[in-house]
Each structure stands twice: as structure tokens, then as C-alpha cells.
């Protein structure tokens, strides 16, 4: 008897470090700075219940039937309206509904990349984007970044080398860094990508969670102002961070030429996203409650950011450095004296606090003294306790 | 300015014929025999409403949060119990929840096939399976089949030629043929696949919709009785045909060695299936209502099958031949005198009745006089009217 042989791309694929840490996070004694997930105590349960109640009162048989691959017309209308108020040019006809933003990423990648095609990503970048590109067999090249944006000279050199199909980035409050790309950079990046026939995959799950400073136009809106409209940017967003991740509803605005092949591809991947959850989101958007809910989220996450940054400064002094993001859920930190974060994590697990070592977010050549901490789930008291535990873990490693 | 270039696999991908026909089906004056979808008038809306009501009364915040990639523990438990009553060996630990059976198919294919690997399929076969295999870049070879099963001598010759990674089939009431594979064939197929290290992708969405005759053991249960258990069969099923397609909840039981890479792959594809819809299905299964609902469906679909087969016989006499399936949703028909079904479809659209020409279901060398008609959505009167219209279309073509 012979055993089944896996596809090459599936051999040795590893679960993400973030996922493995979930095991520890489930222990109620452990304080988790690891998960980049929205706080469920901030879900608009009244709005959700009103929505479900209204669905139950109206005719709702069709919400349990098959639907269109592109997504429910009513939802695309509502998302188009909402996006319009945010300055994001998304007509209902341009939108494709996805089963969460993760599927959007996989969908764009599968329609763009052949084995060996190149993709440029910021160093460091979203770990599940790396998983998608690796599964596709794309060649991933890291671009140096920082609080002031990407190294666009490096981007230009890489584009001139050829073979680059796309640039992937999260321009607002990136995961893991919390960095935001300045406007001048955005304009130049769109221009570079257009000149080289390279797609920009603009991943924007956190854009609405801005605490301070002014919103910056999306790469999509910059590209849409070109003659002939957007031929460059695949804009990805989701309801996961502002409404609910459990409904798995995301959306893409691709260049017009990409939408038909993407719709056919999605048909092969999962036929369509749940008719029921799409209609829940459409109804909730129609209720107009999202705007005030986002205000609630902004205030809450800013408070949590402030609590954690203060607690970390008080506990660590100069032994830990980090940025102060204007939005989103993450602090990108660096231990002093080049102490490896993975080593601190071992001690931290004993102290009952977890975070994600930064090496998970690099396709190659990780900077091992980095770490991502999330404040999204933390109250003020937990923040102080988390910082104290983390400091004890650090002390234990440094003493060694 | 340069344009983005699609991946080779995404160039020239076409929407399925079934999907294109949807446009016509939406016209209320048109009788559709095209869609292979469950009748929404048979949905258990009372059961659904009780389930949603109970969810609203209980604590339900967590149903809107992220969940585990493998699926909700409670749902895997309920599906395991239900499968057990059907003689399908599926422990909660062996089950992977998918976003509908279509995602299950894509997931299995992406974990098994490298570009150019071979897959054997019955001729004709499920059109969306062909789409998945084509998108992956697999080489598809058709195996001749019929009402009495697959040509297993041909399967054995193809396995001996080498390079076959998997055999895909729907052993119960196949789409499009309605054929069911006899037990002796199933035993031999498992033995052949095991000997050659070839996976069997057992797609079983319709197995519970049997009207007459005795249930036949699944390929999964046959493989599971081997020493060392199932190392061959990826069993795919779904709640779409017996509960609701709109919730997009399917499930896979793969060989144990395949489950971990499949879970990691699913994580990259969509993180997880909707927490909310999974919990709706789990609650509904726990209510015990599915068994009696399946009895309702069996009776209704048998009545609809009988009405359409009688109406077609009355209208066509010997000008149309077809099988009489023991379950499922489809009749596989053949026009007399080798008249091409696509030509009849043109006339049928004018007569306001649509069906799917059989050529859509062949990877190559289609038999053009075949067609698939579905009786799932038809009452008795519509069946008679559909048959009359179809006969007028046929007459118009034959007269030409």
C-alpha cells in the first residue's frame, strides 16, 4: 500500500506563530498581547440584535438560499455608500464581496501570480499575507520600511529588475508595525507601479480606526484620479475590525479588468460568501449605526494604546523602544541590547504573558530583537500587569 | 503606462454555463430546469427561526468573534454524531469545517496537486470540480461511466500509467448523471487507489436524498475498515442540500495525515468559516430536526422526479431518453437522432424554458446530444408545462 503524496507547495507548510500562541492565550490566567483581534466587549450587540430581530420579522427565506458570486446587491450598495463617505471610490459594480479580507488576499494572489513571479512586501509585514504568497509559490522580496514609510528608491530598483507582479502593503496602521504611509509616498508609489505595470495590493482593514491626525487618501483614490481610472490598485477591506470578524465579510475593489476573472475564480473557490451574513452586514450598514460605533472603537482603542504605552514606558524605561501609532491595534517594539524576542517569550510564558516575536513577520532575515504587542484587548489594569510580567521575563533573560 | 498581467491560470477562465443560464432563470416567465439547487420552499423555516431565536436568547457575543480554523468544536461534535447515525465514520477530531463543499474541493485540490499532476474524473462530471482542477493546472482524464458505475479497468490502466494524484467522483446520485456506484465497484476502487497511493475525493452532497433502494456504504467507510484506517479517501459533504446553502457550511473527513496541512492551508485561504453560521448549523443539528426534515425532502423530491419523468415521457416518447435516479436532483438525458442540446437550448430560450447542455460537464470530447435537467424546483404543473415547452423547442430544431 502506498501513501498519498502532498503537492510540493503543501509540504512543510507551517502554522503561523500567532496561531500557535492561541493555545496559551486560552488560559484565563495568561494576559495576551499576541492576538490582533477586535475586542468583543466593544461589539455593538444592541445593533446586532436589532438587525437579527428585523431579519426574523421580515421575509428571510432567500437569505438561506444560494446567492451571486459577486456578492449580494444590497450589500454592495451599502458598502459603496459607506466607502463614499470615507472618500474611497467604490461603486457597487466595482465591489466584489469576499469571505473576509483573507480570502480577498488569496483571490488577488491566485489571479495575479504564477509560480516564481515576484511580490514586494514591506519588511516586516502581515504574516498571513506571507503565507498566501508562499502557498502560491511567489518570490517574496522585502522592502525596508519605517515610521516614515517605504524605501521607494529600493522599490524602483526592484521594479526595474523586472518580474514584479505586485506590491503588497497596509498603508494605514500596518500589522505588525502600526506605521502609516505619508501622502507624497503614496502618490509616488502609484506612479511607479503604473509605469511598470505592477499591481498594488492595498490592504486596509484598520483605516477607520484612526485616533489622531488627519486621514490620508487611499492608494485606490489616488489611482482612480488617473486618466482612464484605476488600473493599478486592488483595494481590500473588511467589516472584521469595525463590526464583526465572525461574519467573515470582506470586500475588494480591483481594477475593472481584474474583476471578471476574480469573480470566476471566487466561484471555483467557494461559490459565494454566506448569503445570511452578507445580509446581516447590509442591514446593519443600512441602520446607520456603524459611524457612531466607529467613534466608540476609536476612543476605546486610543485609551488602550495610551494605557499600554504608559505601562511599558514605566516598566522598561530605555530597555524597550516602540512607535506610537495614530490608529489600529499594534505597537512594534524592539528590546535593547539586541536581546532575541523568542528568548524573552519563553520566560514570558512562565510569567503568564504572551506576545508575538517579530521574526514571524519577515519572509527572510528577521530582526530578532523585535516584537509585536497588541493593545486591542487590554484594559488599563491589565496593561500595567502585562508590562510588569513582561519586564520580569526580560529581567530573567538579561540576568542569564 | 503598462497594464497588469494576469497569472497564466487566470487567463481565459470562463464562467460556467450553469452560471450564465442564471440570467435567464431570473425571468419569472421562464421555467428553469437548469439550476441544481435545493427548493427554498422546502427549507425548514420554523426550525431556522427557533434556532435564531434561541441564539438571541443565549449569550451570543462569541458567535461574532474570530474562531478556530478547523471549525467550531460544537459543530464538529454534532456533525460527527449525525454522520455516525448514517454509518459515516467521522470523529469530531477528523472533521474539518469548510465554507461550503466547494471550498472543500478547492482545499483538497490545492493540497494535493502540483501543476501537471493528473486527476481522473467520471465522464461527465460536476462542472465546478472541473473548474477547480483546471484552475490548479491539473491534467484531467475522463473515465467512462454509466448507470452501472465507472469503467474500473480503465481506471486501473490509467493508474498504471502513473502520475495520477487523485480520483474525483460523486458516488451517490451524481451531478449531472444521477448515477450511483454499486458496492462491489466501491470496494475495488478503494483497493486500486490504495495500491497506487492515489487519493479518492469522494464528493457526497446528495447521499441523504435517497428516494428508493438501500443506502450503499461510503468509500470512506470502506477505506476506514482497512488495517491502519483510512489513508486514501477525502470525504466531502455539506449542509447545503439538506439544510441551507446560504450558510455556506460544508465538511471534510480527510486521511489523518492530510488534516494538518489542510488546516494550515485553510487558514491562508479564509482563516475560518463564519463563526455565526457554524453555530446556527450546530444548534439546528442539536435540535434533532434534521432527520425528519430529510424525510420531507425525500418525499418532495421523489414526487418532483416522478412528475418530470412522466411529463417528459408523455411529451417526447422516444425522442428523449434518460435514467431514473434513486435520489438527488438530476436527470441525465439524451436527445434522439444526435441532435445537439445547445441547438435545442437556443430554441428553448425562445420557448421560455432552460436546461444545461451536457457538454458543460465534460473536460474534453463532449457528447453533444446530452443535457442535464433538474426537477428539484418543479411542481407537477410546472413539470408538464416545462416538458411541453421543451418539446416545442425540440420540434422547431428537428423541423429545420
Whole-number Å distance between alpha carbons of A223 and A202: 11
pLDDT of residue A381: 78
Q: Identify the three-state secondary structure at position B18.
A: helix
- A39-48, A376-385, B135-144, B160-169 — which is least confidently predicted? A376-385
- Interchain proximity A271–B100, CB inside 8 Å: yes
Mean pLDDT, range A29-55, rounded to an integer: 94
Mean pLDDT, range A142-158, rounded to an integer: 94
> Which residues, including other chains, have CB under 8 Å from residue A362's CB and lie 6 or more apart?
A123, A124, A125, A142
**Burial class of A31 by CB neighbour count within 10 A (0 to 12, 13 to 18, 19+):** buried
pLDDT of residue A17: 65
Q: What confidence category does residue A1 fall into, taking pLDDT thresholds of 50, 70 and 90? A: low
Mean pLDDT, range A150-174, rounded to an integer: 97
Whole-number Å distance between alpha carbons of A350 and A397: 12
- Interchain proximity A270–B131, CB inside 8 Å: no
**Residue A321 near chain B (CB below 8 Å):** no
pLDDT of residue A166: 97
Q: Which of A1, A100, A271 is opposite residue B102, by nearest beta carbon?
A: A271
| pTM of this structure | 0.96
Whole-number Å distance between alpha carbons of A295 and A297: 5
Q: Does the pLDDT at position B380 exceed 90?
A: no
Q: Which of B66, B258, B265 is opposite residue A135, by nearest beta carbon?
A: B265
**Which one of B8, B35, B274 would you mutate to disrupt binding with A, by most A Cβ within 10 Å of its Cβ?**
B274
Mean pLDDT, range B288-295, rounded to an integer: 97
Whole-number Å distance between alpha carbons of B276 and A350: 34
Whole-number Å distance between alpha carbons of B251 and B98: 5
DSSP string, B44-109: -HHHHHHHHHHHHHS--GGGGS---TT--HHHHHHHHHHHHHTT----TTT-EEESHHHHHHHHHH
Q: What confidence category does residue B16 fall into, taking pLDDT thresholds of 50, 70 and 90? A: low
Q: What confidence category does residue B57 fall into, taking pLDDT thresholds of 50, 70 and 90? A: very high
A–B CB contacts, 8 A cutoff, strictly below: 252
pLDDT of residue B21: 75
Mean pLDDT, range A21-48, rounded to an integer: 88
Q: Which helix (DSSP H) or strand (DSSP E) does residue A333 occupy?
A: strand A330-335
Report CA torsion sign: A110, A116, A122, A124.
positive
**Residue A111 near chain B (CB below 8 Å):** yes
**Which one of B265, B269, B279, B360 would you mutate to disrupt binding with A, by most A Cβ within 10 Å of its Cβ?**
B269
> Which residues, including other chains, have CB under 8 Å from residue A108's CB and lie 6 or more apart?
A166, A199, A201, A234, A236, A252, A254, A258, A262
Q: Does the pLDDT at position A385 exceed 70?
A: yes
Which pLDDT tens digit goes with each residue over A67-111?
999 999 999 999 999 999 999 999 999 999 999 999 999 999 999
Return the C-alpha cell found at B203: 464528493
Domain ranges of chain A: 6-42+289-397, 65-287
- Interchain proximity B268–A131, CB inside 8 Å: yes
CATH architecture of B65-287: 3-Layer(aba) Sandwich (3.40)
Q: What confidence category does residue A19 fall into, taking pLDDT thresholds of 50, 70 and 90? A: low
Q: Does the pLDDT at position A400 exceed 90?
A: no
Q: In chain A, what percentage of residues exceed pLDDT 90? A: 88
Closest-CA distance, A342 to chain B, in angstroms, reads 22
pLDDT of residue B18: 67
Q: Does the pLDDT at position B8 exceed 90?
A: no
**Residue A43 near chain B (CB below 8 Å):** yes
Q: Which residue of B has its CA nearest to A271?
A: B102
State the average pLDDT for chain B: 94
Q: Does the pLDDT at position B99 exceed 70?
A: yes
- Interchain proximity B265–A132, CB inside 8 Å: no
Q: Are B94 and B115 in contact (CB under 8 A)?
A: no
Return the C-alpha cell found at A95: 465591489
pLDDT of residue A13: 72
Note the Cα B124 to chain centre separation in Å.
13
Interface of A with B in 197-256 (CB under 8 A): 197-199, 226, 231-232, 240, 244-248, 255
- Interchain proximity B131–A268, CB inside 8 Å: yes
Q: A226: which chain B residues are within 8 Å (Cβ-Cβ)?
A: 1
Q: Which CATH number is A6-42+289-397's, of 1.10.1740.10, 3.90.1150.10, 3.20.20.100, 3.90.930.12?
A: 3.90.1150.10
Q: A43: which chain B residues are within 8 Å (Cβ-Cβ)?
A: 61, 64-65
Mean pLDDT, range B220-247, rounded to an integer: 96
Interface of A with B in 263-302 (CB under 8 A): 263-265, 267-277, 280
Which pLDDT tens digit goes with each residue over A214-265?
999 999 999 999 988 999 999 999 999 999 999 999 999 999 999 999 999 9
Q: Which of B7, B247, B267 is opposite residue A110, by nearest beta carbon?
A: B7
**Burial class of B197 by CB neighbour count within 10 A (0 to 12, 13 to 18, 19+):** middle
**Residue B39 near chain A (CB below 8 Å):** no
**Residue B9 near chain A (CB below 8 Å):** yes
Q: Which residue has the cell 503588497?
A: A168
Which pLDDT tens digit goes with each residue over B326-372?
999 999 999 999 999 999 999 999 999 999 999 999 999 999 999 99
Which pLDDT tens digit goes with each residue over B149-205?
899 999 999 999 999 999 999 999 999 999 999 999 999 999 999 999 999 999 999
Which pLDDT tens digit goes with each residue over B250-287?
999 999 999 999 999 999 999 999 999 999 999 999 99
- Interchain proximity B102–A247, CB inside 8 Å: no
**Residue A65 near chain B (CB below 8 Å):** yes
pLDDT of residue B17: 65
Return the C-alpha cell found at A36: 490582533
Q: In chain B, what percentage of residues exceed pLDDT 90? A: 88
DSSP string, B314-342: HHHGGGEEE---SBSSEEEEEEGGG--HH
Q: Are A234 and A255 in contact (CB under 8 A)?
A: yes
Q: Does the pLDDT at position A128 exceed 90?
A: yes
CA end-to-end span of chain A = 52
**Burial class of A237 by CB neighbour count within 10 A (0 to 12, 13 to 18, 19+):** buried
Q: Does the pLDDT at position A190 exceed 70?
A: yes
**Burial class of A371 by CB neighbour count within 10 A (0 to 12, 13 to 18, 19+):** buried
* Of residues B48 and A22, more confidently modeled: B48
Total count of residues recorded for chain A: 400
In eight-state DSSP terms, residue A235 is E
Q: A19: which chain B residues are within 8 Å (Cβ-Cβ)?
A: 69, 267
- Interchain proximity B276–A45, CB inside 8 Å: no
Q: Which of A16, A66, A280 is opposite residue B37, by nearest beta carbon?
A: A66
- Residue B51's closest CA among B237, B288, B272, B250? B288
Q: B240: which chain A residues are within 8 Å (Cβ-Cβ)?
A: 66
**Burial class of B264 by CB neighbour count within 10 A (0 to 12, 13 to 18, 19+):** buried
pLDDT of residue A16: 66
- Residue B209's closest CA among B303, B310, B373, B326? B326
Q: Which of A48, A61, A128 is opposite residue B64, by nearest beta carbon?
A: A48
A52-57, long-range: CB < 8 A, 24+ apart: A52/A280, A52/B52, A52/B56, A53/B56, A54/A283, A55/A279, A55/A280, A55/A283, A56/B49, A56/B52, A56/B53
Whole-number Å distance between alpha carbons of B149 and A102: 40
Amino acid at each position: 500500500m502506498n501513501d498519498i503524496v502532498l503537492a510540493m507547495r503543501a509540504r512543510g507548510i507551517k502554522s503561523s506563530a500567532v496561531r500557535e500562541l492561541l493555545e496559551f492565550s486560552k488560559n484565563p490566567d495568561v494576559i495576551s498581547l499576541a492576538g490582533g483581534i477586535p475586542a468583543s466587549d466593544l461589539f455593538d450587540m444592541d445593533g446586532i440584535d436589532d438587525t437579527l430581530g428585523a431579519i426574523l420579522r421580515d421575509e428571510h427565506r432567500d437569505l438561506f438560499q444560494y446567492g451571486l458570486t459577486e456578492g449580494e446587491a444590497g450589500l454592495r450598495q451599502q458598502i459603496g455608500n459607506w466607502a463614499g463617505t470615507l472618500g474611497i471610490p467604490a461603486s457597487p459594480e466595482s465591489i466584489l464581496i469576499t469571505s473576509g479580507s483573507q480570502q480577498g488576499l488569496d483571490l488577488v494572489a491566485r489571479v495575479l501570480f504564477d509560480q516564481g513571479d515576484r511580490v514586494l512586501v514591506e519588511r516586516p509585514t502581515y504574516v498571513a499575507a506571507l503565507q498566501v504568497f508562499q502557498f502560491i509559490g511567489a518570490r517574496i522580496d522585502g522592502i525596508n520600511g519605517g515610521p516614515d514609510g517605504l524605501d521607494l528608491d529600493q522599490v524602483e530598483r526592484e521594479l526595474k529588475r523586472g518580474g514584479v507582479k505586485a506590491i503588497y502593503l497596509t498603508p494605514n496602521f500596518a500589522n505588525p508595525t502600526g506605521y502609516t504611509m505619508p501622502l507624497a509616498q503614496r502618490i509616488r508609489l502609484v506612479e511607479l507601479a503604473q509605469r511598470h505595470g505592477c499591481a498594488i495590493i492595498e490592504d486596509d482593514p484598520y483605516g477607520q480606526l484612526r485616533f489622531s491626525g488627519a486621514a490620508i487618501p487611499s492608494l485606490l483614490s489616488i489611482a482612480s484620479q488617473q486618466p482612464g481610472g484605476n488600473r493599478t490598485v486592488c483595494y481590500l477591506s473588511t467589516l472584521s475590525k469595525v463590526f464583526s470578524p465572525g461574519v467573515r465579510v470582506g470586500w475588494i475593489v480591483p481594477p475593472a479588468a481584474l474583476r471578471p476573472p476574480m469573480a470566476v475564480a471566487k466561484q471555483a473557490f467557494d461559490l459565494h460568501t454566506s448569503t445570511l451574513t452578507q445580509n446581516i452586514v447590509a442591514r446593519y450598514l443600512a441602520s446607520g449605526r456603524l459611524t457612531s460605533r466607529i467613534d466608540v472603537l476609536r476612543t476605546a482603542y486610543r485609551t488602550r494604546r495610551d494605557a499600554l504605552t504608559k505601562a511599558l514606558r514605566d516598566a522598561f524605561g530605555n530597555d524597550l523602544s516602540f512607535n506610537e501609532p495614530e490608529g489600529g491595534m499594534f505597537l512594534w517594539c524592539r528590546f535593547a541590547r539586541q536581546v532575541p524576542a523568542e528568548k524573552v517569550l519563553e520566560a514570558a510564558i512562565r510569567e503568564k504573558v504572551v506576545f508575538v516575536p517579530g521574526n514571524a513577520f519577515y519572509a527572510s532575515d528577521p530582526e530578532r530583537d523585535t516584537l509585536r504587542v497588541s493593545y486591542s484587548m487590554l484594559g488599563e489594569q491589565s496593561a500595567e500587569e502585562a508590562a510588569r510580567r513582561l519586564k520580569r521575563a526580560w529581567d530573567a533573560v538579561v540576568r542569564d
